[in-house]
Structure 1
């Protein structure tokens, strides 16, 4: 009996080591990674913008169906195509980029549908406040890049947040929308 328990413990330890060995590290490819935001403007139009400076990493174990993402965006790199609007978005009224230049997302859960990631849940830090957000995957795939000669994994994700949960209240009393749609297209290169 004792021999069986020792053998079982050894097998469990070996299995744990094998599972950990399958976790791969990926670096965010900034040329194929963007986070954009959309917010309604009095029901007449939709304002859109993106963050041009970003960095991050992904830990991904396809066989174990686990993962971890850490990505950050520079609030001073907001780009709407209109410099005056960018400046207002960066002001203390909205993103307060001078005091809170970094926006970050750290995942704590990957959900799979078969072999594909279907959603990623984690914590969004914005304006110095942290709260839960779940991004649903519109698509997800891993492929062998013919240019990089390495595996690349990525997808197109989206979430809707209530910006007031992070203290971004500007314009709500005038009828500006609270809900903001976040679209994250992310590709990461296996290291």
Structure 2
């Protein structure tokens, strides 16, 4: 009898912990993914991905989660039509052949209740490699307008673009290092 009560209690605790996982939808109006690369050691070229969507599965109690963000590569925007066209070409992202990119992260690290990193994989130009995003800010709040919980933060990483076959300009002295900054907010569903 005592063993049955202990087993039932453990099962109930496991079910309660699992029930705390919530699904959040990426809010495209508060989510921006940008990248920047040093241009001849003089200035920084920047652009962003305008079209993105995704979801986050998040369990604060268990300190686990999974994020999946898809980027429509036709939405590259640098503020310069000519540069956007070049970024979309085979020299860089080859958008005609590889129209989407994706980040999937499932290894969340915490400091207290705050997410500090999300590790996962970035798929770009048909190649997948590990990436860890560092959280510079992380917070959850009750949105007064949406009447729902919103979680998000500012995340960043530096990647070696050659891992994904983006080698244009290396012979000219362009950096292979690209800084990626993702400002994201996701709404609890």
> What TM-score do you get using the length of structure 2 for normalisation?
0.98
Alignment correspondent of 1:51? 49
Larger mean Cα displacement after TM superposition, 5-14 or 98-107: 5-14
CA distance, structure 2, for counterparts of residue 81 and residue 115 of structure 1? 38
Partner-residue secondary structure (3-state), 1:52: strand
Alignment correspondent of 2:167? 169
CA distance, structure 2, for counterparts of residue 34 and residue 111 of structure 1? 22
Counterparts of 1:24-35 in structure 2, within 5 Å, are 24-35=22-33
> Is 1:36 the equivalent of 2:34?
yes
Partner-residue secondary structure (3-state), 2:14: helix
Give unpaired runs (5+ residues) of structure 2.
none
Report the CA distance between 1:43 and its aligned residue: 0.3
Alignment correspondent of 2:94? 96
Partner-residue secondary structure (3-state), 1:31: helix
CA distance, structure 2, for counterparts of residue 17 and residue 153 of structure 1? 23
Report the CA distance between 1:173 and its aligned residue: 1.4
Which of the residues 110, 121, 127 maps onto 1:112? 110
Which of the residues 110, 128, 131 maps onto 1:130? 128
CA distance, structure 2, for counterparts of residue 159 and residue 135 of structure 1? 5
Deviations 1:63-117 (CA, angstroms, capped at 9, x unpaired): 1111110001111100000000000000011001001010100012110110110
Alignment correspondent of 1:144? 142
Runs of 4+ in 1 over 6 A off after TM superposition: none
Deviations 1:165-188 (CA, angstroms, capped at 9, x unpaired): 111111111111000000000000
Give unpaired runs (5+ residues) of structure 1.
none
Alignment correspondent of 1:84? 82
Report the CA distance between 1:11 and its aligned residue: 2.1
> What TM-score do you get using the length of structure 1 for normalisation?
0.97
CA distance, structure 2, for counterparts of residue 126 and residue 18 of structure 1? 37
CA distance, structure 1, for counterparts of residue 7 and residue 118 of structure 2? 33
CA distance, structure 2, for counterparts of residue 129 and residue 7 of structure 1? 51
Report the CA distance between 1:10 and its aligned residue: 2.1
